[in-house]
Amino acid sequence: MTESPLLEVSGLCAGYGAVQVLWDVDLTVAEGELVAIIGPNGAGKSTLLRALSGIIPISAGSATFRGRPLGGVTIERIAGMGLAHVPEGRRLFPGMTVRDNLRLGGWRHGRAGAGDQDLERVLELFPALRDRLRQVVGSMSGGEQQMCAVARGLMSRPDLLMIDELSLGLAPVIVEEIMGRLPRIAAEGTAVLLVDQDVEQALTVAGRGYVLETGHVALSGESGTLLADPGVRRAYLGIA
Amino acid sequence: MTSVLASSRRAWLPWAVGVLVLAAGFGLQTQLYTDQERVVTAVLMYVVLAQSWNLIGGYTGYASFGQVAFFGLGGYVTGVLMWQLRLPFWWALAASGLLAAGFGALIGLPLLRLKGHYFAIAALGVAEGTREVITNLTSVTGGGGGLTVPTFGADAPTAYLGNDGFYVFFLLLAAFAVLTVTLVARSRFGFGLRAINQDEDAAAAMGVPTTRVKVAAFSLSGLLAGLAGSGYAFQAVNIYPGPMFDVQITVLMVVMVVIGGSGTVLGPVLGAVGLQLLSEWLRANYTTYHTFILGTIIVIAVVLFPGGLVTYVRGGLRTGQWSLLTSIRRYRL
Amino acid sequence: MSGAADTETPVLEVRGLGRRFGGLHAVADLSFSVPPGQVVGVIGPNGAGKSTFVNLVTGHLKPTSGQVLLEGQDITGEPPWKVARARVARTFQIVKPLRGMTVRENVAVGLLYGPDASRHSGAALRLADEVLERVGLVALGDVTPGELTVADARRLELAKALALRPKLLLLDEVMAGLRPGEIEPSLELIRSLSADGMTVLVIEHVMRAIVAVSDRVLVLHQGRLLTDGPPREVLADPRVIEAYLGHRYGRTHGADTDREQPRD
Amino acid sequence: MSQFLQATLYGVLQGGLFALIAVGFSLVWGVMNVINIAQGAFVVLGAYLGWGLATYAGIDPFLGMLVAAPVMFALGYALQRFLINLVVNAPVFITLLLTFGLDLMLTQAMNIAFTANYRAIPTSYASRGVEVLPDVFLPLGRFLTFGVGVGVTLLLAWVMSRTRTGLSISATGMDRGAARLMGINARHVYGLVFGLGAATAGMAGAMYGTVGTFSPADAAHLTLISFVIAVLGGLGNPYGALIGGLVLGLIEAWGGQYLPGSWENALAFGVFVVVLLLRPQGLVGRSYYAARLEV
C-alpha cells in the first residue's frame, strides 16, 4: 500500500489527568481494513479509542485521520470527520426507540442525510432490528442493543468505525453473529477498529491485530500469527 | 487555617487571633454610631447562619436549601414562648436551639437518605411547608398577622436588650458558632463529615456510621440557625412568617459560604462579613442599583472562584497558580 | 502461609450467596469458605461478578439470597460501617480517595472510626504515619490524592483499608493499571500481611500477580463459581482459558496447557 | 356539588398555566442539570413584554406572546452560550448560585425599569365567563391561558420527541457523551434548551399578566412553583410538567375551597416532600435524564 493509511497513530500518550495510561502507541488502519485491538482488562484499549475520538486529550505523540490531526479537535468535529465510535457499554439513548437512535446516528449528514437508504443498509446488515424499530432500546436484550449500537455507528456512513468491547456481557452465539457482519462492513468501505477481550473471535474476523499490555503495544501482526503466538496467552494469563 | 499537623507547633496562634478578634469586636462597639451598630449586628448574625449552613452544606456536602426553616422555627419558638407563656428570653433561647436541633434530627433521618439536589429541594419543601404550618396555626402563632414579642414594662418576661445588648448577644453567638465549627473541623466528627462529603461508600468502608453522622451534623447546624432565629425574633419584636422563613435568607447563607470557601472555618466568616457589609454599603450609596450590583458581583465571583475565596488563595499559595481562568477551563463545556 | 487446619473456624464463609439486578444474576449460589491466614485469589473475566461479590461481603450491596459469615458470625445485610468495625477491610476497584483531604487525613478517618477508634484526631494523624510507612507512602502524607500517580493512589487505597487493622482484607484490583515494576512491591506487601496472620482475598485481573501470591484461586464466571484450587491447576483448566480468551480458544489451545504444565 | 366542580375547573385551568410556567425550568434542569433560579424572573419579564406591547403598541397579549417568545429565546440562548456555559460542568449548586445572581440582576432591573407597582394586561374578553353547568362558570381569560399553556406544553413535547432538533436535545439530556459522539454540538443544544426555557417562560408570563396582577416581586414565588411542579412531574419531561401543573393546580383549588386559611399551601409542600421521598424521579419521570454528563 503506497498511499498514507486512513488512521495513523504514532508515539501516542494519553491518560486521565495526571494519570498516564497509554505509552508510545503506534498503530495504523488502512481504508476498508478490519483491525483488532486485544489485551487484558486495564491494558488501555478503551483509553486508546477515547483518545482517538477526542473524549480525552492526547498528551503526546500524534494521531491523524485522512491526514488531518485529531489532537485538540472536539468530539463533535471528529465525529463529523467520519470517525464513528461505538463506546463501551453501548451508551444507547435508553428512553428512545431504535429508529430514533439510528436517526441520531446519522446526525453528521444534516437534515438531508441519514435518509431511508442508510436505514435500509443497516437493517439489511442487522435484520433483527427491522421488527424492533419502534421499540424503546432500554427494553431490548443486550445482543439487540449491541446490534443497535453498531448500526447507529454505521448510520453516519463513517470511513472508520471503532467498536469498544463488542462482546462484553453477550452470549457467544450473539457475539458470533455480530462479529460475522464486520468483514462485510469493511468490504463495503468502512474500516473497522475492533476492541475486544475475546481473542479468538476478534482475530478470526480481523486481518491484523495489536495486543496491548499495560498501555504498550506488546505484539502486533497478522491475525494468524498472533493466534499462534504464546505471547498472547502470556499477556492474558501471565503464564505460558 | 493550616492543616492540623502543621499547626501543632503554633496551635495557639488561631486561638490568639480569635480572642483578639473577639476583643476587637467589643472595642469596635464603642466606636460605632447606632446605625452602624445595627449593621454590624446583622453581619454577626449572618456569620452564625453561614456557619450553620457550612456544617451541613460545606463540611458534609449536603446542600440544604431549607436551612431557613431552623431560623424561622427558632424565631417562632421564642416568639410564642415569650408571648403566650411569658417565658424569659433565655429560657426561650435554649428551647429554640434545642427544638431546632431536634427538628433537624427528625427531618434529617428521612431526608438525608436522598442524594445531591434531591436532598436540597426536599429541604426547601420542608422549609416552605413549615412556614405554611406556622402561618395557619393562627391561635398559637398569630398566623399571617404575625406576633409581637412583649418587650416593655411589666408585661415583658425579659427586658428588651437594646442595640448594645443585641450587638453583644450576636457577637457572642458568632464567636460560639465559629468556635463550634473550629472544634468540629479538628475533631473525629469533622473527619467523618469530610469523609462523607468526599465519598460516602468509602467513608462507610472505613467504619463511619454515615447516617448517624449526617443527622448529627444537620441537627447541629439546626441548633446554630435556631439560636440565631431566636435572637433575631426578640430583636425584631414583630415577627411574621414571610420574613422569618424567607427563602432569600437560605440563599444568602449559601452564597456567603460558597463565595468565602465552603468546608473551611474562615471562609464563611469572610463571606458573611464581606457580602453583608458590601450589601449594606451598596444599599446606602447606590440605593436603586444595590441588588443589581450585588447580583453582578455574585455572578462574577461564581464564575471566577467557584471553590470560594479561601480555597482559591490557599491553592494559589500552595501551587503558585493564580490564574483566574483555571476554574473556567475546568467547568466549561 | 496457608497451613490452616480444616477444623478451624473459617474467617469468611459464604453460603448460597446471590444477588440479582433485575433479571440478571450478577452473583448466584456462591458457597465457599476461607480459613485464617490464607491468601485467596479471585479471578474471572469482566462481568463475572467479582466486584459484586466484594460488595455483598462488605455490606455495600444487600444479597438477594444466602449468607455471609465472619468467623462464624452472621453478618449478612449489616451496614458497611458495622462490617468495617468487625475488621473486614476492602479497597475499591475504582479507587475512592477522599479527595479534599490529605493522604494522612485519609488514613486517619479509618483510625478514628474503625474498630480501634481513637478519639483524638491528633493521635490518629500520628498513627496514620505508621500505616503509611507500611505501604511506602509516608513521604506523601501532606499531599492530596489528586496529585498521586496511579501506583500511589492504589497504595493509598490499601493504606485506608489497613487503617482498620483488618482480619479479612478484600483487595479489589489493587494492581490494575500498574506497570510491571510496580506490581512486585504490592505482592511483597500482601505476603507480609499474610505472614502477620491476615486473611486476604485478592480480586485481580493481573494473573501473574495472582499466581505469585495466592495459596488458592477461585474462578468466577457469569456469577458462579467455576473452579477452586491451587493457582497453576486452575489456570491450566481449559474451562478457565475458555472463559477468558473466548469460547473457541479454550478448545484449540487447551491441549497445549496440559503439555506445558509439568515444566513447573 | 357545583362548588366542587367550580373548584375543580378552576384548578385544572390554573394547572395548564402552571405547566407552561414550569416546563422550561424542568427542561433546563433535566437536560443540563442546571437549576435556573431566574425562571420566575423570566416569567415576569415575559409579562412586562406582553404588557409593553399591549400598552404601547396595542397588540393583544395573546399575539404579544408570539413576540415575547423569540425575544426571550435570544436572551436565553445568549445567557447560556456566553455565561452559564463557563461553569456548566461545576457542581449543581454552583450553577444555582450563578442563576441566583442573574435573578437578582433581572429582578432589580425590572424594578428600576417598571417600578415595583402591580400591573395587569387588560383585555376586553378575559373577565367574561360562560355558565357551562348550573352555577359553574368558565372564565374565558383563564380558559384561553389554559389552552395556550397546555397547547404550548404539548407542542414542546411533540418537538422533543418528533423533530430532529428535539431528538438531539433528548439525546444530550440522556447521555451527553454519546450525543457528542454522534456529532451533536452539545454547546448549541444547551443554548437551545436554555433559550426554549426562557421562551416558554416568557409566553407563560404574558398569559400570567392577563389573568392577574404581577410585579417583579412575584419572581421568587414563580420559581418556587416551577420547582414544585418540575419535581412532582419529573425532570426534563413536558408531560411531567403538565401533570405536575395539574396536580398543583388542583391541590391549590380544592385546598382553597375546603381547607381553612391557607392550609392548601402546606398541603402542596407536604405532597412535594412525600413525592420526593417515595419517587425522587417524579410522578412520570424517568431516572436516566442527566445521568451521564462526564464528557
Q: Rounded to an integer, what distance in angstroms lies between the CA atom of residue B211 and that of residue A78?
A: 46
Inform me whether the C-beta atom of residue D104 falls under 8 Å from chain B C-beta atoms. yes
264 residues of chain C, pLDDT tens digit each: 444 445 678 999 999 999 988 767 889 999 999 999 999 999 887 778 888 999 999 999 999 999 999 999 999 989 999 999 999 999 998 889 998 899 999 999 999 999 988 778 889 999 999 999 999 999 999 998 988 877 888 899 999 999 999 999 999 988 876 766 778 888 999 999 999 999 999 998 767 788 889 999 999 988 899 999 999 888 888 888 777 766 555 455 443 433 333 333
> How many other C-beta atoms lie within 10 A of the C-beta of residue B74?
33
Inform me whether the C-beta atom of residue B202 falls under 8 Å from chain C C-beta atoms. yes
- Which of D36, D105, D114 is best to mutate for the B interface (most B CBs within 10 A)? D105
Touch criterion met for B and C (3+ Cβ pairs within 8 Å): yes
C96:B3 CB<8 A: no
Coil, helix or strand for C93? Answer: coil
- The pTM of this model reads 0.85
CB nearest to B202's CB, from C98, C105, C120: C98
Number of domains in chain A: 1
CATH code assigned at A204: 3.40.50.300
Instruction: Tell me whether residue A239 is in a domain.
Output: no
Measured over the CA atoms of residue A125, residue A130, residue A131 and residue A134, the dihedral's sign is positive
Instruction: Tell me whether residue C86 is in a domain.
Output: yes
CB nearest to C109's CB, from B8, B203, B209: B203
List, as one string, the DSSP characters of B269-331: HHHHHHHHHHHHHHHHH-TTTHHHHHHHHHHHHHHH-TT-HHHHHHHHHHH----TTHHHHHH
Q: Tell me the CA end-to-end span of chain A in Å, nearest whole number.
A: 35
What confidence score (pLDDT) does residue A171 get? Answer: 76
Q: Are C89 and B195 in contact (CB under 8 A)?
A: no
Q: Are D247 and D15 in contact (CB under 8 A)?
A: yes
**Mean pLDDT of chain B, nearest integer:** 91
Q: Are D201 and D47 in contact (CB under 8 A)?
A: no
Q: Rounded to an integer, what distance in angstroms lies between the CA atom of residue D173 and that of residue D167?
A: 10
CATH code assigned at C113: 3.40.50.300
Least confident of A74-88, A186-200, C234-248, D24-38: C234-248
Q: Rounded to an integer, what distance in angstroms lies between the CA atom of residue D277 and that of residue B122?
A: 8
Residue range B130-152: average pLDDT? Answer: 92
What confidence score (pLDDT) does residue C258 get? Answer: 35
C235:A233 CB<8 A: no
pLDDT, one tens digit per residue, over A118-138 is 899 999 999 999 999 999 998
Q: Tell me the CA end-to-end span of chain C in Å, nearest whole number.
A: 20
Extract the C-alpha cell encoding C119: 478519639
Q: Rounded to an integer, what distance in angstroms lies between the CA atom of residue B101 and that of residue B215?
A: 10
> How many other C-beta atoms lie within 10 A of the C-beta of residue A19?
13
Instruction: Tell me whether residue D124 is in a domain.
Output: no
CB nearest to B191's CB, from C85, C105, C161: C105
Helices (H), chain A: 45-52, 75-80, 98-105, 116-125, 142-154, 172-187, 199-205, 223-228, 230-237
Extract the C-alpha cell encoding B266: 474562615
Touch criterion met for D and C (3+ Cβ pairs within 8 Å): no
Instruction: Tell me whether residue D292 is in a domain.
Output: no
CATH code assigned at D203: 1.10.3470
Instruction: Tell me whether residue C4 is in a domain.
Output: no
pLDDT, one tens digit per residue, over D86-134 is 999 988 778 888 998 999 999 999 999 999 999 999 888 877 888 888 8
Q: Rounded to an integer, what distance in angstroms lies between the CA atom of residue D99 and that of residue D77?
A: 14
Extract the C-alpha cell encoding B58: 460545606
Extract the C-alpha cell encoding C222: 457469569
Q: Rounded to an integer, what distance in angstroms lies between the CA atom of residue B114 and that of residue A215?
A: 39
Parallel, antiparallel, or unpaired: how do β-strands A19-29 and A160-164 relate?
unpaired
What confidence score (pLDDT) does residue A146 get? Answer: 94
Number of domains in chain C: 1
Burial group, residue C154, by CB count within 10 angstroms (0-12, 13-18, 19+): buried
C100:B263 CB<8 A: yes
Instruction: Tell me whether residue D128 is in a domain.
Output: no
Instruction: Tell me whether residue C259 is in a domain.
Output: no
Q: Rounded to an integer, what distance in angstroms lies between the CA atom of residue C46 and that of residue C49?
A: 8
Instruction: Sort out which chain C residues have CB atoms less than 8 A from B197's CB and list them.
Output: 100
List, as one string, the DSSP characters of B151-199: -SGGG-SS---HHHHHHHHHHHHHHHHHHHHHHHHHSHHHHHHHHHHH-
The cell 432500554 sits on which residue?
A: A138
Inform me whether the C-beta atom of residue B129 falls under 8 Å from chain D C-beta atoms. yes
Q: Rounded to an integer, what distance in angstroms lies between the CA atom of residue D231 and that of residue B120?
A: 12
> How many other C-beta atoms lie within 10 A of the C-beta of residue D128?
13
β-pair partners for C19:
C27
Instruction: Tell me whether residue A166 is in a domain.
Output: yes
Which structural domain range is residue D71 located in?
Answer: 2-115+136-278
Burial group, residue D262, by CB count within 10 angstroms (0-12, 13-18, 19+): middle
Scored b (16 or more CB within 10 A) or e, C214-253 reads bbbbbbbbbbbbbbeeebeebbbbeebbbbbbbbbbbeeb
What confidence score (pLDDT) does residue C256 get? Answer: 40
**Number of residues that make up chain A:** 240
Extract the C-alpha cell encoding B287: 440605593
For chain C, give the longest Cα–Cα distance.
62
CB nearest to C90's CB, from B194, B199, B205: B205
Q: Rounded to an integer, what distance in angstroms lies between the CA atom of residue A41 and that of residue A232?
A: 13
Which structural domain range is residue C96 located in?
Answer: 12-229
| Residue D126: C-alpha distances to residues C34, D122, D140 (Å) | 79, 8, 5
Scored b (16 or more CB within 10 A) or e, A141-166 reads eebbbbbbbbbbbbbbbbbbbbbbbb
Q: Sheet harboring C199-203: ordered strands across?
A: C88-90, C168-172, C199-203, C39-43, C216-221, C224-229
Instruction: Tell me whether residue A228 is in a domain.
Output: no
Element (H, E) at C245: helix C238-245
For chain A, percent of residues with pLDDT exceeding 90: 67
Q: Rounded to an integer, what distance in angstroms lies between the CA atom of residue B48 and that of residue B50?
A: 6
Inform me whether the C-beta atom of residue C60 falls under 8 Å from chain B C-beta atoms. yes
Which structural domain range is residue A91 located in?
Answer: 7-218
Q: Is the ipTM of this complex over 0.85?
A: no
Instruction: Tell me whether residue A240 is in a domain.
Output: no
Q: Rounded to an integer, what distance in angstroms lies between the CA atom of residue D63 and that of residue D49?
A: 11
> Who's near C94: CB < 8 A, 6+ residues apart?
none
Number of domains in chain D: 1
